[in-house]
Amino acid sequence: MTQHSLRKLLCITIAGLLYSCSPQRADTDVIRVRWSHDPETLDPFQFSNQASLDAVNLLHLGLLEVDLTRLKYAPVLAESLPTTHLIGDSLTELRYTLRAAAAWDNGCPVLASDVAFTLKLMFCPDLPNEAARARFGFIEDITTTATAPRRFTLVCRGQSLEYLVASGDFPILSEAAIDPRGQLRRYSLRALQRRPVTAPADTVLLDVARRYRAASPDQLPGLLPGCGPYELVAWERDRYLTLRRKTNWWPDAQLQPVPAVLQALPKQLEYVIIPDAATATLALRRGDLDVYPQMPAREYARLQTSPSTSNPLRLYSSLSYSVVMAGFNTRQPVLADALTRQALSHCFDAAGLLEATQMGAGTRTVGILSPANRINYNDSLALIPFDLKRAAALLRQAGWQRGPEADAGWVRAVANRPRQQLALRVRYRAEETLFATVALQFQAAAAKIGVPVTLLPTESGTFSSSVHTGDFDVYVRMLNGNPFMFNFTPIFHSEAIGAGNTTGFDTPASDHLIEAITTAETEQRRAHLLRRFQALMQREMPVVPLFFLPNRVAASSSLTGLQVSSLKPGYAVKTLVRAPQPSPAP
């Protein structure tokens, strides 16, 4: 009996396999895009990862949004960029007007009360909005008038050029859908912001939070209504997420011509989650995928050398705003002086690393601002050369002395302190081979001038705690930037020591300069200050910016209208169109 059943089972399996191999995908409306991670949450205030941001941007609209190809903020729900009015020397008023055509799916217009509601939700307790609190805490108040329901004024603390665009970059939620009775209207934004974490629970707020959670897309798809072009059809965790273009999206009928940021061409988008890079390439070659954004260098190079036959591909690349950098822990006595840090910065072979890891693509940089940002990039500074002789000379200048033997290390005597020995521990995220290569190169170079370096590849959870507690000498990591925001307070200001300022960098001059940059009145003035800041950072060298990474996208050649962007996710998904295929697949 067992043999028979075995044979039968085998037959059934083979038959099933043959059957299931036969059907091929023929639907042309669907565009499939690879994600490396699950979005984990579609909550619009959590900003948890890139996949989540991608999806939220398609489901919801903000007042302003980045035009990915022109790298500029453009009005979306707002009619135009807001007008700025400075009040005294510590307040800014931004006046917005919403588009008259902007509407929710049920036809109700998007009003200023929705914006006020959204801002208040960001400070409502018991909701996953901690990230939004930090980001939009500068908006102190919102004033609306009953006579003009589409106009409102945002009152912002302090004065900054960036308020103009930063104040509009959050998704707007519908008050009618979550809080139909307008319970949140009783609270002012200021009162919610000032509510201490330990305040006793407020039943009204808890009620709003409960309804928000019940309506959030994590519970049931599509309940939290957005006025974006897509609606959620299906979301299988760790497998895929499907979005369908709404047929009754408001710009279609109401706006002629449709502005570039309000275009949404694909009928259906399917984000496929494939963690493995090599597997994703395989899926792309088989034609199971149409777009593979942020492709690793080796996969990209492999596609360049051996073009796919079954699914002809097009390869795109641009310069991204992600800079790979090494940071020094300036709180360590051995790294407290700028000269030592400068000396060590000469041990990084940025050009060689760029060649080995990025196949020569990408760009070296003098600072953490991208060379593509021509106004602000300080091109009068020189790139740091890979020069071990200079490194040794600088170390001597910094007071270090090396013993006569070949394997002697560097020591220095400081008054009233124990003698210092130069030995470094480099920490980096273990799963990133790029960081590992940088660290290994640094170790090998430092060994040549007699500086012993220990590598501490660390799992990402432990990495973030060790970096925050200062348990490292050097770290290697990536910093994502953009051409709009230049607030360096969280990373380099002394106020952020213990939080985001992991290098512990702290000089009065840099603090002053960072504050001046955030409050600069004109772009020219800001550019001037930014150039000074880059020069200062190169002198002080708390971090060694190595190079900006390229952004690589591979897409099926049947897609037209793919526009690469320097900003994440690296391409504009809303403009993709599948060209009609000349011959159907056999």
- Residues 293-352 within binding reach of other proteins (CB under 8 A): 298, 352
Which residue among 35, 73, 136, 328 contacts other proteins (CB under 8 A)?
136
Question: Is 8 an interacting residue with respect to other proteins (CB under 8 A)?
Answer: no
Nearest to 222 by CA among 131, 116, 104: 104
Regarding 276 and contact with other proteins (CB under 8 A), the answer is yes
Query: Which residue from 83, 90, 460, 524 is in contact with other proteins, where contact means CB under 8 A?
Result: 460
Distance, first Cα to last Cα, the chain: 42
> By CB under 8 A, is residue 274 in contact with other proteins?
yes
Q: Which of 113, 342, 458, 565 binds other proteins (CB under 8 A)?
A: 458
- How many chain residues bind other proteins (CB under 8 A)? 115
Task: Choose the stretch contacting other proteins; rule: CB under 8 A; options: 74-82, 397-405, 441-449, 529-537.
Answer: 441-449
Binding mask 10-29 for other proteins (x = CB under 8 A): ---x--xx-xxx-x-xxx--
Residue 479 binding other proteins, by CB under 8 A: yes
Q: Where is 50: in which H helix or E strand?
A: helix 50-59
Binding-site member from 70, 194, 286, 512 for other proteins (CB under 8 A): 286
- Please tell me whether residue 237 binds other proteins under the rule CB under 8 A: yes
Our finding on whether 468 is near other proteins (CB under 8 A) is yes
Cβ-in-10-Å burial (0-12, 13-18, 19+) of 36 comes to middle
Q: CB–CB of 475/426 below 8 Å? A: yes
Q: Does 521 bind other proteins (CB under 8 A)?
A: no
Q: The tokens of 506 are what?
A: 């702290």
User: Residue 522 interacts with other proteins (CB under 8 A)?
Assistant: no
Count the Cβ atoms, other than its own, within 10 Å of residue 372. 16
Residues 59-118 that bind other proteins (CB under 8 A): none
| HSE toward the beta carbon, residue 96, CA cutoff 13 A | 32
Q: In this complex, which beta carbon is closest to other proteins, that of residue 190 or of residue 237?
A: 237
Angle at 162 between CA 161 and CA 167, to 5 degrees: 125
Applying CB under 8 A, which part among 221-229, 273-281, 409-417, 569-577 lies near other proteins?
A: 273-281
How many whole angstroms separate alpha carbon 103 and alpha carbon 106?
8
* 423 counts as binding other proteins under rule CB under 8 A: no
Q: How many CA atoms lie within 13 A of 372 on its CB side?
A: 21
493 contacts other proteins (rule: CB under 8 A): yes
Q: Which is nearer to other proteins, 105 or 511 (CB)?
A: 511
Cα–Cα distance measured from residue 514 to residue 301, given in angstroms and rounded to the nearest whole number = 40
* Binding piece for other proteins, criterion CB under 8 A, among 328-336, 392-400, 413-421, 431-439: 431-439
Q: Nearest approach, Cβ of 454 to other proteins (angstroms)? A: 9
Taking residues 529 to 568 in sequence order and writing x for each that binds other proteins by CB under 8 A, - otherwise, the string is: ----------------------------------------
For residue 352, what is the enclosing H or E element?
helix 350-358
Residue among 103 and 280 whose Cβ is closer to other proteins: 280
Are 521 and 532 in contact, with CB atoms under 8 Å apart? Answer: no
List the one residue out of 283, 286, 263 whose CA is nearest residue 275: 283
Q: From 37, 71, 69, select the one nearest 54 (Cα to Cα).
A: 37
User: Residues 366, 535: contact at Cβ < 8 Å?
Assistant: no
Q: CB 412 → other proteins: shortest distance, Å?
A: 28
- According to CB under 8 A, which one of 105, 162, 471, 511 is a site residue for other proteins? 162
406 binds other proteins (CB under 8 A): no
Shortest separation between residue 306's beta carbon and other proteins, angstroms: 10
The DSSP symbol for 189 reads H
Report angle CA 550, 556, 560 to the nearest 5 degrees.
Answer: 90
Of 38 and 102, which has the nearer Cβ to other proteins? Answer: 38
**What torsion, rounded to 10 degrees, do the Cα atoms 222, 223, 229, 235 define?**
-20
